[in-house]
Structure 1
Amino acid sequence: MTKMTATNKISEVVEALSHYEFRYESTSDGFLEFQGVLRHEECAYDCEMYIAKDFASLPLIRLKAIPGILGAVAPHLSAMGWLCYLSRSSTVINIFDPVGQTIAFVKRAEYVLGQILDGSVVDDLADEFFAYWGSSSNSCFFDVDDFESKSLHLLWGFEKSESNQAFLSNDLVRTKMKAAALGRNIFQNRIPVLAFVSPIPPQASLVHWPISNLGEFLSWQRHLDGPTSYRIEAAIKNTVRCGAPGVVVAIKSPRFIYSLVILFTKSGKLKEKKVSLDELRESIAMPYFGSRIDDKFIVERNVPSMKTLAEKRIALVGCGTIGGYLADLLVRAGAGSGGGELVLIDNDILTTGNLGRHILGFSDVGKNKARGMARKFLRDTPGANVKSIQLDAKEVNLTKMDLVIDATGEESLGYILEPKYRAAQARLSAWIEGPGIAVRGHLKTERGQACGYCLANYAQEGQYHATVEPMPKIYAGQGCEQEYVPFPATVSIQAACLALDMALDWAAGNQTSTLRTRVVVPGYTCQPDSSPPSIEGCPACDS
């Protein structure tokens, strides 16, 4: 957009908005400022509107005064009058039609304001609860995988350049690891933590908001969920009798976990047990904005409504070009969480030749791949139970695993693993066909299904090939030790993705084809997915 064209577009927007009762005032910090009104029925509401000069974002609209007919809090409207009339993710910004889209935004803002004033969107307060609960300056990380636990702890994390960060935890070791990954040094606070589970989603009160003291909190909670409120009051009374200077109340609801810190006003007299709960109703209550960092939330948000890999004991053999990406995907899908574990097996080191298509980087060159991946997870997902074994897979006992995954791409290794781990619940292999033309996955969960050796024999007979067309054999590099099959990292990633899909289907108990193929290179026809049977007399299956 040239300077002249940009100026013309601004002039056109200013002219168009003048017909909708908006007057241009000034330009500041890249925004055009307008004064105007939004109308509903017979009333006009004065407002300000700020439009980015490049028209690449939603205009910001603020009411100069909160309408008197609204309660202490209103949906889609902040205490400062900012109107949330449209979600950024729900619209496409059209910079080539600034006039049309700006007028559309004004009409949308007017429509949403009308809904607010009519009271037709009051239930949206439940969805927007955290917009009204606490502030960014009072924030808390919830690292709690068992909210019924009686041993919740309040931790404070410090960093020189940042404000203090609160953590609620039922596992001090795990949370300290996560805090360290965030660059925080934490220590335990002696203020007791009271945890409750409520069946009622929280919603801001239209009568009195925000909450500022203990009395207001108990009154709001009693109106929201009486039974839980009575349990909270009883627990706080016990805390007062013990002489604690304050208490943290954390509540898990169907939609949110929310908490607040209460500092008792007459804490000096509590040990004398002369102060009643009624005398403490003016005690300061500080709602804390919360973010969940427990592994269950992180994983289930990644794969909603799907069975995850939590609680499973999974062994991954090979942390190379496929296995490295697959290990990362497995952890994100829950492997190593919920009491499960992920065991990485590889006795090879990362070389400079691996860097172009491996998930690990230069800092791991010359180091063991499995150990490098385990260090990566310790840094990035410290709550995951991931172990590394720097041995040849043939020397490792994996019979107690629920799932053994072979991501080495070495056909002969599969011949060895099949008879060795038939006791394992399932065996999954993932590999790349030809010079990156297709990726394949094969899962065996029961006798009667083909193993890797069966597939090799089928292939010799011309059955169950990956593609209809034959594939060329292409190699690169020099000499026996440096020779390799060239293909881009994207092929490795697709092989890992296919393997993860099959692992998730296995965890969910879905009955699907045991041999799956995905063609990567155009010009090749993919053979249909299938479930080859075991070959009678197969030495690997029957040994």
Structure 2
Amino acid sequence: MHDALLERGFRRVPSGSVDIYEGRLLITSGEVPVTVLVPDLDFVTMPLVHISESWQGPDRRLPHLGPSRLICYYALGSVVLDRYDPGGTIVRCIEQATRVLEDAVEGRSDADFGAEFDAHWSARWMLCDLPAGYSGPATIIYPRLSVASEPTPVLVAGSSWARDRDPPRRADGPEETALVVSIGTPLTLDPERKWPPADYDELVDWLRWADPVLTSRLEEALSSGTGHQATLAIRATNGTFACRITVPPPMRTVEFLVNRRSTLARNLARPVGQVSLERITADSADLGYIYGRNLGSRGGLAGRSVAVVGCGTIGSFLAQQIALCGAGTGGGHLLLVDTDDLRTANLGRHLLGIPFLHRNKAEACARYLNIMMPGAKVEWSAKAAQTLTALRGFDLVVDATGEEALSLALNQAAVDRRPSGPALLFCWLMGNGAAAQCILVDGEAGKACLKCLKPELAGEPVYPVMRPDVEMEFGRVEACADGEFVTFPVSRSVAAAALACDLALDWAAGRPGHRLRTRIFEPDKAFEVADCSPGVTDRCPACSTRR
């Protein structure tokens, strides 16, 4: 690296543990003196390229140039630098920084101000729970999103999960009026103007430059607001950005704020006192964004009614995963069912921990998910699943108990109701977590049920998974009155839950694909079984009863 920089005319500056070099970048308009800092030779942190204070650049703001004259030449995480070729890597960085600076100086990358506008605008933040494309009056509320948290500003219009989150404050908590306007273009800045806007006139000039309609919306926000503050929130294609305007003390009178409210914008343009401007960036927090962002075109479980039977080592993680995919939101709901309590024996491979000990597992998981997942409607029941007639009205019932007798009872009920009734998804681990398997049983004719996989209780499975010479390992801690249990690590529970969650998402999208899926974690103990959609087994007692 040292030789590569010397060849480009850089010289090393004596320093401590950080390698520092001074040199020049050659662009069309001339040479630019820079300092290059190399924080580490593993290149986990990119080399830093700072432009010297002595450089007299264009009299305009440049994109990709930070306040300390740091050139942002690669987006964070966009490239992996080669630690095994330090010389080539530092040359690559210098060349990229040169290209970025060249384009900035020549005005070819001014459009990039839109992509980095958040960094230029943001001073404070709030959450934003608004319908897509919404424009109109809104409210900034301040709920406490957790027991110990400070109030969080949330921009809402009408009902909101954030408003429901803190019921005691819904009626009498502090609220501010706001006006929201949606535009179909990104917000950006004028590199020729002073930035950021420091007073009311500069704000109006920038809004007029960005989109002429925004100045009239600012006037509307001021005239329709209450009190001595008004907020205009602009929902652009590159984010939601708000500006809160605080009326100066000399104008905080009934005459200005009430009697002459309609002319407040015009009065603020006069030198009556310093108008305070507060820039705010709003993070999207509507349920569609929270639960749909990472799923893309695949879609999720919002609007569906889903029940998870068994909230133990697999079911607790599965409940969390399907809740993260939107189950219990969008008008649907999520029901968790378990008859057992959480004990210390469960903690090593369960979603929950100490705060939920000796509480019913379904109740505890529902409580946890309702706290963690905004807008989710998670309910619970401690009744035996086979007695819950309400399950018949669900879209999907997932059995994660691993209890064969219960699973077969639920399976028979589903087969008897074909082609109506909910779809059933069974998920279980085999051996000491050597393999995970799941099957979807729905109303489609000719498809296998759970019993089709092993028609005789003591017989061989149709699709053998475990190798015949593998012995099960059981644990028992007599001193703790801990009964016999199957040993396996939590990683297998999470993997089994993920396998079932994927199948649930495929079912929800209307393309279940392979209905029987198997994942092998220990090939020396389990056979590879190809995913498939088996048909009905002739000797299946469940299906023959139906026939």
The one-character-per-residue Cα deviations of 1:36-64 (angstroms, maximum 9, x if unpaired) are 32220250122333322555421222223
In structure 2, distance between residues paired with 1:63 and 1:179: 49
CA-CA distance at 1:21 after TM superposition: 3.7
Q: Secondary structure at the match of 1:477?
A: strand
- The residue number in structure 2 matching 1:251 is 234
Q: CA deviation at 1:267?
A: 4.2
Matched-pair contact (CA < 8 Å) for 2:421–2:443: no
Quick one: structure 1 residues 130 and 163, their matched pair in 2 at CA, closer, same or farther if it must change by over 3 Å? farther
Match status 1:411 vs 2:393: no
| Residues 326 and 496, structure 1, Cα contact 8 Å, conserved in 2 | yes
Distance 2:246 2:14 in 1: 46
Whole-Å separation in 2 of the counterparts to 1:31 and 1:144: 47
TM-superposed deviation, 1:93: 4.1
Worse overlay, 399-408 or 92-101: 92-101
State the match for 1:307 in structure 2.
299
CA contact (8 A) 2:142 2:175 kept: no
In 1, Cα distance between equivalents of 2:463 and 2:85: 52
1:427 is aligned to 2:412: no
Which amino acid in 1 is paired with 2:347? L
Q: TM-score, normalised by structure 1?
A: 0.84
**Residue 281 of structure 2 corresponds to residue 296 of structure 1:** no
SS of the residue aligned with 1:305? helix
Query: Residue 201 of structure 1 contacts residue 254 of structure 1 at CA under 8 Å; is this kept in 2?
Result: yes
Letter paired with 2:439: H
Per the alignment, do residues 203 and 383 of structure 1 end up closer, same or farther by CA in structure 2, a change over 3 Å counting? Answer: same
Q: Hey, what's the Cα distance between the residues in 1 that align with 2:474 and 2:134?
A: 58
Asked whether 1:271 is paired with 2:258, we answer yes
Deviation of 1:353 after TM superposition, in Å, equals 2.5
Aligned counterpart in structure 1 of residue 58 of structure 2, from 69, 73, 77: 69
The corresponding residue for 1:191 is 176
Whole-Å separation in 2 of the counterparts to 1:187 and 1:43: 62
Alpha-carbon deviation of 1:145? 5.1
Amino acid at match of 2:499: L
- Partners of 2:59 and 2:35 lie apart in 1 by 19
User: Secondary structure of the residue that 2:33 maps to in structure 1?
Assistant: strand
Structure 1 residue 331 displacement after superposition: 1.5
1:8 corresponds in structure 2 to none
Hey, what's the Cα distance between the residues in 1 that align with 2:290 and 2:374?
A: 12
Residues 249, 420 of structure 1: alpha-carbon distance in 2 compared, 3 angstrom cutoff = farther
Cα deviations by residue, 1:138-189 (Å, 9 ceiling, x for unpaired): 2222244566386732134799x99985332347773267689xxx999844
Q: Are 1:380 and 2:365 matched, yes or no?
A: no
Is the 1:342–1:387 Cα contact (8 Å) retained in structure 2?
Answer: yes
Cα distance between partner residues in 2 of 1:166 and 1:251: 16
Q: Does 1:437 align with 2:426?
A: no
CA offsets, 1:353-379, max 9 Å, x none? 322222222343332211221232234
* Residue of structure 1 equivalent to 2:30: 43
1:450 aligns with 2:448: yes
User: CA distance change for structure 1 residues 466 and 142 in 2, over 3 Å: closer, same or farther?
Assistant: farther
Distance 2:439 2:369 in 1: 26
Measured against aligned partners, the alpha-carbon deviations of 1:66-98 in whole angstroms (never above 9, x if no partner) come to: 7643633x3211243221011341333444544
Question: Mean alpha-carbon deviation: is it higher for 291-300 or for 141-150?
Answer: 141-150
How far residue 101 of structure 1 moved from its aligned partner, in angstroms, is: 2.6
User: What value does the CA root-mean-square deviation take over the aligned residues?
Assistant: 3.6
Paired position in structure 2 for 1:5: none
For 2:502, give the aligned amino acid: D
TM-aligned CA deviation for residue 505 of structure 1: 0.5
Equivalent residue, structure 1, for 2:189 = 204
Alpha-carbon distance in 2 for matches of 1:308, 1:20: 53
Deviation at 1:344, TM superposition (A): 0.9
Match of 2:243 among 251, 257, 260: 260
Q: What secondary structure, in the 3-state scheme, does the structure 1 residue paired with 2:49 have?
A: strand
Distance 2:469 2:217 in 1: 69
Partner Cα separation in structure 2 for residue 377 and residue 221 of structure 1 = 42
**Cα pair distance change 1:542/1:470, threshold 3 Å:** same
Q: Distance in 1 between matches of 2:113 and 2:160?
A: 36
**Structure 2 residue aligned with 1:354:** 346
Q: Provide the rounded CA distance (Å) in 2 between the counterparts of 1:440 and 1:162.
A: 41
Shift of 1:387: 1.7
- Which whole-Å CA distance do the structure 2 matches of 1:115 and 1:466 have between them? 63
Shift of 1:442: 0.9
Match of 2:319 among 327, 340, 358: 327
Q: Could you report, residue by residue, the CA deviation over 1:172-216 in whole angstroms, capped at 9, with x for unpaired residues?
A: 773267689xxx999844431112222222222223232334444
CA contact (8 A) 1:374 1:387 kept: yes
Say if 1:468 and 1:526, in contact at 8 Å, map to a contact too: no
Q: Which residue of 2 aligns with 1:528?
A: 530
d(CA) in 2 for partners of 1:186, 1:214:
33
- Could you say if the C-alpha distance between residues 61 and 395 of structure 1 is closer, same or farther in structure 2, counting changes exceeding 3 Å? same
CA separation of 1:455 and 1:110: change in aligned 2, threshold 3 A: same
Specify the SS of the correspondent of 1:399: helix
Q: Identity of counterpart residues, as a percentage?
A: 27
Structure 2 distance, partners of 1:43, 1:186, is 63
Q: Is the 8 A contact 1:179 1:186 kept in 2?
A: no
**Which runs of 5 or more residues in structure 1 are unaligned?**
1-11
In the alignment, structure 2 segments of 5+ residues that lack a partner are none
Query: Which secondary structure state, in structure 2, belongs to the residue aligned with residue 503 of structure 1?
Result: helix
Deviation per residue, 1:405-448 (Å, 9 max, x gap)? 11111222223223545443421111112332221111123142
Correspondence for 1:124: 112
Give aligned pairs, total.
520
**In structure 1, distance between residues paired with 2:15 and 2:341:** 59
CA positional deviation for 1:231: 6.2
Judge conservation of contact 2:143–2:163 (CA < 8 Å) in 1.
no
C-alpha separation between the residues in 2 aligned to 1:62 and 1:475? 61
**90-99 vs 314-323, which moves further:** 90-99
- Is this contact kept in 2: 1:75–1:121, CA < 8 A? yes
